[in-house]
Structure 1
Amino acid sequence: MRAFLPERPDQKYMQLMRWGQLRREQLHQAILVTKDTVLGYLKRQIERGNWREVQDVLRGKPMTRAGKFLLEELRGRVVGNLIMRLGLRKVIAVGIAFALLPFILAKVSGELIGKARKD
């Protein structure tokens, strides 16, 4: 997952804000919406028994057909929620989703690994 993390994440966020013409609070809301969407979606998939696919997505390697499907569906849900909750245009929501999703997935996988190590 480290491959997804930029050297200077603050610089990436500033570029994203300029490109999407977003205010700092809108970007913060977009991050929260993305995180809520990811967590909710992954929990539902785990409850359905799709643990291996979720694990592949969290590792950043959705090699299986089901893992690729989960990642595409997750991206679509994030874009939809950004449009609905924040009222963003589709092109901006897609750009934000593609930029934020790897960071959020890396953070979620890091938190899960940390919890697993404690247990």
Structure 2
Amino acid sequence: MCESKPVTGPIPIHVGRIPGGAQLDLAALTRLVVGDVLDALLQGDDTTLWDLLHEVAAPSAGAAERLDREELEQQLVERASSRVPLYGPAAKRLAASILTAAGAHVPQQRGEAA
């Protein structure tokens, strides 16, 4: 489904065709995000997120009500990676790969003489 050669960068992006469009495979970003979440949960000097995770999973007898899962999710999202940097021509290669996978024509640049 995905092309064999990814658009390179700190986080490789594989582009593949799907019916009616393109699909980006960001497995490297997923690994980075999961690592960020684990780091946040296992931070030794601040157990706030770990405690919140356990409170959401099984509220203590003293808790007035079950803590909101969205609160935990928001705090983890704030600590997780979300950006994929592309340097130099990688952005153009990604755009061309997406357009190719989506079946769109990539126009050639015209020379100055044209």
The structure that has the greater radius of gyration is 2
Higher strand share: 2
Higher helix share: 1
- Sort the TM-score into its range (normalised by shorter chain): 0.3 to 0.5
TM-score under structure 2 length normalisation? 0.37
TM-score under structure 1 length normalisation? 0.36
